Amino acid sequence: METAPGPAALTPPAAPAQLPAPPSVHVRAVITWLAIFPLVTLGMMASAPLTEGWHPVFKALALTLVVVPTAVYLVVPRMMRAHASLIRRRPRA
């Protein structure tokens, strides 16, 4: 009768690659602002003819309905990846 190999015969799983540290809250704030400001500016200019005469609260609602998801799902993740890429390329001192 064959027996299953003991724990010593099993090889340990490979250690996962060490992930770089996430950027500081200050860096994330700057990256988010760099994403949001141009989107808001372009959104305001593009929506001005459509929302002329609207109450400012409704203008802000319409603008944020477009800008926030665009920033959260498209722009900020790409900017964070670009930032991480730049950090990895930086020579270590």
Tell me which residue of 26, 36, 41 sits closest to 83, measured CA to CA: 26
Give the model's pLDDT for residue 12: 65
| The pLDDT value given to residue 13 | 67
DSSP 17-58: PPPPPPPPHHHHHHHHHHHHHHHHHHHHHHHTTTSTT--HHH
51's CB contacts (< 8 A; 6+ apart) are 58, 59, 62
What does the pLDDT look like over 48-64, one tens digit per residue? 999 999 999 999 999 99
Asked if residue 79 lies in contact with residue 91, where contact means CB atoms within 8 angstroms, the answer is no
